[in-house]
Structure 1
């Protein structure tokens, strides 16, 4: 079977699944108004999808062996497509949340399945190119999702962010039927159901995802709800590891972590996407809350970085044939850390290009990061174990993004309060800068024909809040860049991937 047809077949549904993880965010206000729901209630349309997605991803390898990979892939695309129609047709919030759970169950398997199929279809010396193709979908989805969701919601209605999945899903099902073939070791096999592993995994990851998604809103461990879920998650995941170690046919074969390159690569991937999602979540918030950008203009800042990533992914896929992947990976880590460090120097007077350039640099860095890392991580995995390994790897990638978002939103909140407290110490009549500011404000008010009043002080206080918020963004970007650069030594532990004849590259 032509490997490029296979690549197109598996990446098409994967791309729409990744887009759906972020497409709802920008339509949330419209959904809330249409279904008469509160703000906190409406966020469950996002959380429910992420929770079911997180639970199903690590089970993908096991489910592929139970049902046969091709059959399970067709089922997943079908469920995702049907549930997309149901989401668009939802009559109230409860029905939408339920259908989003089904959509997450259908979509969760698509990323690890497509990755494992690509790695098996392409020969070892072309694994770099295969992961470049996979990376385009992984990186492009979070960028295009908000842009597409905003445009569809503004021009049509929120229902269509789900309906557009239907024709793509139908095409994907037909292509899978005709172009995907199961190798002998991926045919359906009879297996015992690991009920304990299944229950502990679902409870542990489900609670963890809710904690990460709702933690900042609930004030983290000051909330009994968050504390309870955290304890349940920790106990469940620890018991899950113990159970899986002693089960003959585990849902997730955690023995894959005996491979040093895989373990190290999974850790590096976790923090790589921690860095990526932290930065691309912070940027729109900074632009819209402090700089007065619209959602569309914010998208134009993010967009060029996504394009830079896609171009760099293709270039890196080619370079993998001639350059040691560890060198490319190290370059990617350094460039990503440097890009986020540049973002830590943003201020309230930065222009469009000053903000866009670090995002483009980050896009280039992620292109150098993703392809060699995935190739090095998976190079020592047997083909029959690829489905399980890809599932675990994708789970850690998604969790890295969730942890990154939770980390920076917490830093943003706490550091903003800290800087407000420190700056307000200078709002006294004895501070020379404060005296100058009040004099200038009074002059402006008089010029506009307004008498000096409490408005002068309100103006100064609003500016203090903006400055404190800006400093908290700087802190969040800076800490994220430090975390990224700290993973650089881990590259030394990874073994160089399997190579092949460069001349065979077409």
Structure 2
């Protein structure tokens, strides 16, 4: 394969992947406009997000099988067309029910794009250049979630919310044309007339769909105190257990779970899960921290995340070159250590932390993620056969997506529970007759410029209680950051179980 065609292939598959990843978060900042335009409540409007995430999560594990059954190029073209057409229909929707329906279709079309793009890139580039291939892929996967809210907010403010969907149409058409012209199925990927595993397909669809629903809605519904969440959790667990049992006995399974016998692949999935668990958790925590405790507006709280995206964007090409020159394990270990350092810095935040300190911690995290994603992805597929890449990339991308969902669900729950815990502890140790309380009360009354008296005392007590709430919330954030730091430290030894790619291997004859 010549150098030009290799990079054209990369652009052809990364472009739709970037669109798909952006669409997972682009709607978030437009919810209020969508709700007002379609006369819906905020809980109803959030279904536009949940519907996309659930359908997206269901399709990812099925991608490898669909590409074998229909032919990968054909399935990729179908997915991009479905994503593009449903984007147009989303923007044209005039009722909430129609918008949710077309968001489901958009998720179905978009779910296949990440694993298919990754598999194609790994085949288009020789093993010695896997790092650069994954740097291209990582730009879409890592930068998309940060670009999404900023782009969505700008489009909504300057045009209108339907344009967050219409913007996909010209780029989707360009992607289809490029895929038709430049992408070819390798010789070992042929359409198969294998028996359709309807049972496995149904079990994984229901299991993953219910799991994604539980993770997305759990905290809002107070988890297992809600009968709905409990039912969906039971259905998810039962279906996924049955899925594993059925697939291990199937001759032509939807997912070849035996790939987990590969120690390097299994280890890479474990590290990926924890890294993205922490990444998406902090992406959620920092805007909440800056808005609730520091009084930032939406723009500033979003802006504080931007240095992380820029750092990742700069670091990935560097990491792509590094993994072909030095031991990828060293790059990965360094990246995980930097990630741990960044979350440790966040544990030192207080109520007086400035914007640049927060932005710096995010930049360090972005730098670390660039050094983590490239070598980890490269080594994950180092021992996977070319003909099994479609199945392996489906599993790997599912792991990453679920890690983000678990991370967001966990940190938001931890935040609420630990805030309650610290609030109760502070109140227990805060005696109205104690010196600390009296000093704080007098200080509060002085701030309010109040004289002694019952009304003044009540006002002062209100200010003291508000400070207590802020302090308990602050402690809950630091608990979450401490937990993230410990997680990252615990997975460091796993790096040594990974295997390096064989750089002497050649590219298959399909390209």
Q: Following TM superposition, by how much is the alpha carbon of 1:445 offset from its aligned partner in structure 2, in angstroms? A: 2.6
Pick aligned residue for 2:476 from 472, 479, 498: 472
Residue equivalent to 2:388: 385
Query: 2:149 corresponds to which residue?
Result: 146
- For residues 125-274 of structure 1, the aligned pairs below 5 Å read 125-274=128-277
Which moves more between the two structures, 490-499 or 470-479? 490-499
1:278 equivalenced with 2:284 (yes/no): no
Q: What whole-Å deviation, never above 9, does each CA across 1:119-172 have from its counterpart, x for those lacking one?
A: 000001000111111111111101101111111111111111111111110111
Within 2, Cα distance between the matches of 1:392 and 1:45?
25
Choose the corresponding residue for 2:336, options 333, 336, 340: 333
- 2:25 is the alignment partner of 1:22: yes
CA deviation digits over 1:342-391, x for unaligned, max 9?
11111110001111111111001101100000111101111111011000
Cα drift, residue 446 of structure 1: 2.8
CA contact under 8 A between 1:342 and 1:358: conserved in structure 2? Answer: yes
- Distance in 2 separating the partners of 1:448 and 1:169: 67
State the 1:448 CA deviation: 10
C-alpha contact 1:57 1:395 (8 A) present in aligned 2: yes
- Distance in 2 between the 1:332 and 1:500 partners? 26
User: What is the Cα deviation at residue 30 of structure 1?
Assistant: 1.3
In 2, the alpha carbon distance for the partners of 1:444 and 1:388 equals 64
1:364 to 2:382 alignment? no
Determine if contact 2:442/2:460 at 8 Å carries over to the other structure. Answer: no
Q: Secondary structure at the match of 2:208?
A: helix
Whether contact under 8 Å (2:422, 2:472) holds in the other structure is yes
- The answer as to whether partners of 2:123 and 2:386 remain within 8 angstroms in 1 is yes
Unaligned regions of 5+ residues in structure 2, if any?
506-511
1:288-308: CA deviations, max 9, x gaps? 121111221122211111111
1:111 matched to 2:114? The reply is yes
The CA distance in 2 between the partners of 1:80 and 1:417, in whole Å, is 43
Q: Show CA shifts across 1:39-87 (max 9, x none).
A: 2211111111111001100111110011111111100000000000111
Measured in 1, the distance between the counterparts of 2:155 and 2:451 equals: 42
Query: Which residue of 2 is the match for residue 414 of structure 1?
Result: 417
SS of aligned partner of 1:434: helix
Say whether the 8 Å CA contact 1:313–1:367 is kept in structure 2: yes
Shift of 1:426: 3.8
Distance 1:188 1:446 in 2: 79
Q: CA deviation at 1:317?
A: 0.6
Deviations 1:394-426, CA, capped at 9 Å, x for gaps: 000100111011110010000010111111224
Residue 39 of structure 2 aligns to a residue whose secondary structure is coil
More divergent stretch after superposition (126-135 vs 441-450): 441-450
Deviations 1:163-216 (A, max 9, x none): 111111011111111111111122322221100001000110011001101111
Cα displacement (A) at 1:264: 0.8
Distance 2:192 2:102 in 1: 30
State the distance in 1 between where 2:50 and 2:449 align.
51
Asked if structure 2 preserves the Cα contact closer than 8 Å seen for 1:420 and 1:468, the reply is: yes
Structure 1 residues 433 and 449, CA gap change in structure 2 (3 angstroms): closer
- The unaligned stretches of length 5 or more in structure 1 are 502-506
**Paired residue for 1:318, among 308, 321, 335?**
321
